[in-house]
Structure 1
Amino acid sequence: MNEIDALTQRIEALEERLRGYDDRRAICDVLYRYARSVDRCDLDLLKSCYWPDGTDVHWFYNGNAHAFADYVVPLLAEIASSQHSITNPIIEPHGERAFVECQWYVVHHIPLQEGDTERFIDQQLEGRYIDVFENRRGEWRILHRQVVLEAGREFVTTPPLPLPEDHPGLGQRAPHDILSQGLAILDMPIDPVNGADLWGDTRARHSHVSDQ
Structure 2
Amino acid sequence: MSDRAADIHAIRDVVALYCRGIDRLDFDLVRQAYHDDGIDHHTGFDGNVDEYLSWVTKSLEYLSGTMHFIGNHHVDFVGQDTAISETYVMATHWGRPGSGPRANFTTGARYVDLMERRAGRWAIAERWAVREWTRPDAFIAPEQPGPRGTRDADDPLSVLMKRFGL
- TM normalised by structure 1 equals 0.69
Q: Which residue of 2 aligns with 1:9?
A: none
Amino acid aligned to 2:121: E
- Structure number with higher strand proportion: 2
Q: Aligned pair in 2 of structure 1 residues 119, 66: CA closer, same or farther (>3 Å)?
A: closer
SS of 1:169's partner is: coil
1:8-50 deviation digits (Å, cap 9, x = unpaired): xxxxxxxxx7211111111011111111000000010100000
How many aligned residue pairs are there?
A: 163
CA contact (8 A) 1:112 1:119 kept: no
Which of 45, 50, 56 aligns to 1:72? It is 56
**Match status 1:47 vs 2:36:** no
5+ long unaligned stretches in structure 2? none
Rounded Cα–Cα distance in structure 1 between residues aligned with 2:161 and 2:111: 32
Rounded Cα–Cα distance in structure 2 between residues aligned with 1:90 and 1:119: 34
Rounded Cα–Cα distance in structure 1 between residues aligned with 2:34 and 2:75: 17
Amino acid aligned to 1:171: G
Q: Which portions of structure 1, spanning 4 or more consecutive aligned residues, are displaced by more than 4 angstroms? A: 118-121, 183-186
Instruction: Using the TM superposition, give the Cα deviation of residue 161 of structure 1 relative to its aligned residue in structure 2, in angstroms.
Output: 4.1
**Match status 1:26 vs 2:10:** yes
Cα RMSD after superposing both structures: 2.5
SS of 1:158's partner is: coil
1:123-172 deviation digits (Å, cap 9, x = unpaired): 01001111100000110000000121111111333323465xxxx71111
Percent of aligned pairs sharing the same letter: 28
1:44-82 deviation digits (Å, cap 9, x = unpaired): 010000011010000311100232122212431321111
CA contact (8 A) 1:99 1:133 kept: yes
SS of 1:134's partner is: strand
Rounded Cα–Cα distance in structure 2 between residues aligned with 1:29 and 1:179: 17
5+ long unaligned stretches in structure 1? 1-16, 187-212
SS of 1:113's partner is: coil
Q: Which has the higher contact order (CA 8 A, sep 6+)?
A: 2
CA contact (8 A) 1:87 1:103 kept: yes
Rounded Cα–Cα distance in structure 2 between residues aligned with 1:113 and 1:184: 34
**Match status 1:60 vs 2:44:** yes
Rounded Cα–Cα distance in structure 2 between residues aligned with 1:73 and 1:132: 23
Q: Aligned pair in 2 of structure 1 residues 119, 142: CA closer, same or farther (>3 Å)?
A: closer
SS of 1:157's partner is: coil
- Structure number with higher helix proportion: 1
SS of 2:142's partner is: coil
Q: Which residue of 2 aligns with 1:4?
A: none
Q: Which residue of 2 aligns with 1:85?
A: 69
Amino acid aligned to 2:148: L
CA contact (8 A) 1:119 1:159 kept: no
SS of 1:28's partner is: helix
